[in-house]
Amino acid sequence: MKLLALAMLLVACAAHVEVDDSLTKHDVEELPLRQACFVEGFGTVFGEFHFSCAAMECNREVALRILTLRGIIASREEFVSTFGHTPILLRNVDRLYTYRFEDPEYELDKDRWVAGRLHVSKDGRGYIELERSGWPLLHELLHVYEYKHGRRGHVDWESRGYEDAVREYVEKMKLPTSTTGCRK
């Protein structure tokens, strides 16, 4: 089980916060964007493909419900104040990039791919970049939460309930292109 949890984390993100410039107007103009919509609680969601704003609203509700029921976030108001100014960029790729991962404890020496990443500028502003399915969204939101609380990486994620929250989110989320209604 420990190995499965580690593998899930490694595929989801690069296990660190990438410090760079925030998503700027120049970046947006340079990307092959097909759609953008404002989703309260996230901010603007940009896509390199056509996606359903309703599906992203459903995913906001799924994330909110999971985080509040697990006691990670206290309320909708805290959710909005924590994540409401974090743009999301949906890329039209299966993975953002690949890197070499070596861990003697797990006897791993393999190429791993990254499906989501949090970019943060020196002034604390940032954005979330996701591959097209969007499944790492809650994982990256938890990096935003941790960053705002002065923590980096995946330290104590299991004991804080983050890994279980991410697994639950992946089971309940909607694909960004989904046209079916929200699950309760």
pLDDT tens digit sequence for 21-41:
455 655 666 778 899 999 999
Q: What is the pLDDT of residue 5?
A: 38
pLDDT band at 7 (very low <50, low <70, confident <90, very high): very low
Q: What are phi and psi of 167, to 5 degrees?
A: -60, -45
First to last CA, the chain: 28
pLDDT band at 179 (very low <50, low <70, confident <90, very high): confident
Distance, CA of 107 to CA of 112 (rounded, Å): 14
Residues making up the chain, counted from first to last: 184
pLDDT band at 11 (very low <50, low <70, confident <90, very high): very low
Cβ atoms 59, 134 nearer than 8 A: yes
Question: pLDDT by residue (tens digit) across 114-148?
Answer: 778 888 776 667 889 998 899 999 999 999 999 88
Question: pLDDT by residue (tens digit) across 36-75?
Answer: 999 999 889 999 999 999 999 999 999 999 999 999 999 9
Question: pLDDT by residue (tens digit) across 156-178?
Answer: 999 999 999 999 999 999 999 88
pTM above 0.75, yes or no: yes
3-state secondary structure of 75: coil
Question: pLDDT by residue (tens digit) across 80-127?
Answer: 999 998 899 999 887 676 655 555 665 555 565 677 888 877 666 788
- Residue 153: pLDDT above 60? yes
